[in-house]
């Protein structure tokens, strides 16, 4: 595998938490490479470490041991300011609870990360409108989150995550709060973004429907990568 094809690398990563004074290993020497254009899913039982791994790759948590690289930068060597810039420009994150800004419209929510990046109003507006249309939200641009359904809010969150043209988009249980039809439609839209624009997606999930649509299935058990298989999709 060429270095240019690797967008994220996890090497010997352990994450230990303390629970009631007892050390608990959420991850134990995990190793993983994510390649450009992957449409990959992390699966495993509750407590297996998949969400911890996703948070570590996203720079939202710090490993107890081991090293992580995103787009060639080792996270552990970055200052807080450098890490913030890397998250802003290289990592898109879609949370289970959507985390949209309630006082902003759908359009403004999608534009927000690009505003932080310093893009012009014209660039922000054009890209946000294009993405919302691609995600089936044309005509809803001015609605605030509380006027949108759960599925519509999740689509706005996906549009916001990809708007900044990140190296990798991470999604924690993206269909957990959606019915099966809405979740399936969302996965199909992201699959099109992956195929048409080459965006790299990594999901953590319990949902068999998400696993069925993945092109790479990474199985996590007891804090380690147990298997790495081609998906059915």
Give the pLDDT mean for 200-215.
91
Asked if the model's pLDDT at residue 1 lies above 50, the reply is: no
Q: Would you place residue 151 in the very low, low, confident or very high pLDDT band (cuts 50, 70, 90)? A: confident
Whole-number pLDDT of residue 193: 87
Is residue 189 one of the residues assigned to a domain? yes
Q: Across the strands, what pairs with 19?
A: 22
Q: Would you place residue 98 in the very low, low, confident or very high pLDDT band (cuts 50, 70, 90)? A: confident
Asked if the model's pLDDT at residue 164 lies above 80, the reply is: yes
Asked if the model's pLDDT at residue 232 lies above 70, the reply is: no
Mean of per-residue pLDDT scores for the chain? 90
Q: Looking at the 3D structure of the chain, how many domains does it have?
A: 1
Q: Would you place residue 231 in the very low, low, confident or very high pLDDT band (cuts 50, 70, 90)? A: low
Tally of CA atoms within 13 A in the half-sphere of 226 that contains its CB: 12
Is residue 129 one of the residues assigned to a domain? yes
Is residue 156 one of the residues assigned to a domain? yes
Among residues of the chain, what percentage have pLDDT more than 90?
Answer: 61
Q: C-alpha 118: how far from its chain's center? A: 22
Is residue 29 one of the residues assigned to a domain? no
Asked if the model's pLDDT at residue 120 lies above 50, the reply is: yes
| Domain containing residue 147 | 36-62+79-228
Write out pLDDT tens, residues 31-81. Answer: 999 999 999 999 988 888 899 999 999 999 999 999 999 998 999 999 999
Is residue 11 one of the residues assigned to a domain? no
Query: Can you spell out the DSSP letters for the chain?
Result: --GGGEEEEEEEEEEEEEETTEEEEEEEEEEEEEETT-EEEEE-STTSSHHHHHHHHTTSS--SEEEEEETTEEGGGS-HHHHHHHHHHHEEEE-TT----TTS-HHHHHHHHHHHHT--HHHHHHHHHHHHHHTT-TT-TT--GGGS-HHHHHHHHHHHHHHT--SEEEEESTTTTS-HHHHHHHHHHHHHHHHHH---EEEEE--HHHHHH-SEEEEEETTEEEEEEE---
| Side-by-side strand order, sheet with 168-172 | 91-94, 168-172, 201-205, 39-43, 216-221, 224-230
Whole-number pLDDT of residue 81: 94
Q: Residue 151 is part of a domain; what is its CATH number? A: 3.40.50.300
């Amino acid at each position: 595998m060429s270095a240019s094809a690797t967008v994220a690398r996890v090497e010997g990563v352990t994450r230990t938490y303390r629970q009631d004074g007892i050390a608990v290993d959420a991850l134990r020497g995990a190793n993983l490479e994510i390649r450009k254009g992957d449409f990959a899913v992390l699966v495993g039982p509750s407590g297996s470490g998949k969400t911890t791994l996703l948070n570590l790759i996203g720079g939202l948590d710090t490993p107890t041991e081991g090293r992580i690289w995103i787009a060639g930068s080792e996270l552990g060597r970055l200052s807080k300011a450098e890490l913030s810039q890397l998250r802003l420009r290289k990592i898109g994150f879609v949370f289970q609870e959507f985390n949209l800004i309630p006082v902003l419209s759908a359009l403004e929510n999608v534009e927000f990360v690009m505003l932080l990046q310093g893009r012009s109003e014209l660039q922000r507006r054009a890209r946000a409108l294009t993405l919302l249309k691609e995600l089936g939200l044309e005509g809803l641009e001015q609605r605030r989150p509380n006027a949108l359904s759960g599925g519509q809010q999740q689509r706005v969150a996906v549009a916001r995550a990809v708007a900044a043209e990140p190296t990798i988009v991470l999604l924690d249980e993206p269909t957990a709060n959606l019915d099966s039809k809405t979740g399936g439609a969302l996965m199909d839209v992201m699959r099109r973004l992956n195929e048409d624009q080459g965006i790299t997606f990594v999901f953590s999930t319990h949902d068999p429907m998400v696993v069925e649509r993945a092109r790479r299935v990474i199985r996590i058990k007891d804090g380690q990568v147990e298997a790495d298989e081609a998906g059915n999709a």
